Amino acid sequence: MTSQWRITEKRAVLQEASLYLCTPIRADLMDFVASCIAGGVDVVQLRDKDATDREIFEAAKRVGALCHEARVPFFINDRFDVALACDADGVHVGQDDLPPDAIVPEIRQRLLLGYSTHSHKELDESDQYDLDYVSVGPIVPTPTKPGRPGTGLDYLRYAVATARRPFFVTGGVSNETIEGLLKTGAHRFVVVRALTEAVHPQQVALELRSAIDHYRSKRPS
């Protein structure tokens, strides 16, 4: 399925997004993603370091069609070639991937771009790049980023005070932690295990989204 969105429309939707699912390939992938979207997830990323290129491509085509129908931006982790081939909306890259300024304009005009940051320095340096959002974290150590220490809340508070573009908090986001994270002033979050390990992911997403929306409704306009 070819997305009919203009990139300006995708960018506007992303600006307002608050609950970002990052998921590997799984047996019930389509039902799982649909449940999360029904619960309030408004960005989806496919990230599976153990899958083959063919497996990622085939899964991405199916999930991308679902996301496009729901008008939910769909990202691929790392792989610009896969993102272009499956008509994804964007790519998320990390500090060890292709640097954002190496991306040719023709590709950048087709794809949204997200970028991982893990420190004050990396966040500051990200200002030099043409990005649609950055991620900030992981706030606590997480199995999805083995060997990477948690950045702690001080880094999150720094991002709240200084970030010049939308940022999503990563690492340990759950119904148990969301209130404390919201109190820092952050209001966009990447969720992995709280949804991928949930028995009822739609309900978990609903609870997370409710907490975020409640906080955002009380912020000064």
Domain ranges, residue 184: 7-218
Distance (Å, rounded) from C-alpha 180 to C-alpha 114?
25
The overall pTM is greater than 0.85 = yes
2 within domain boundaries: no
Q: Mind listing the pLDDT tens digit for each residue in 71-129?
A: 999 999 999 999 999 999 999 999 999 889 999 999 999 999 999 999 999 999 999 99
One-letter identity of residue 216 = R
Pick from 52, 61, 68: nearest CA to 29: 61
From the list 102, 136, 104, 103, the residue with the least C-alpha distance to 118 is 136
> What average pLDDT does the segment 19-44 reach?
98
Assigned domain for 135 exists: yes
In a domain, residue 197? The reply is: yes
Q: Is residue 67 part of a domain?
A: yes
Q: Is residue 200 part of a domain?
A: yes
Q: What percent of the chain has pLDDT over 70?
A: 95
**Angstrom distances, CA of residue 154 to CA of 27, 63, 138, 142, 203:** 38, 35, 12, 17, 30
How many H-runs (helices) and E-runs (strands) does the chain carry? 10, 8
Domain count across the chain: 1
- Give me the pLDDT at residue 2, please: 47
Residue 1 inside a domain? The answer is no
Q: Residue 210 is part of a domain; what is its CATH number? A: 3.20.20.70
Distance CA 79, CA 108 (A): 13
Distance CA 67, CA 112 (A): 15
Could you read off the pLDDT of 140-155 as tens digits, one per residue? 877 766 667 788 999 9
CB of 156 closer than 8 Å to CB of 181? yes
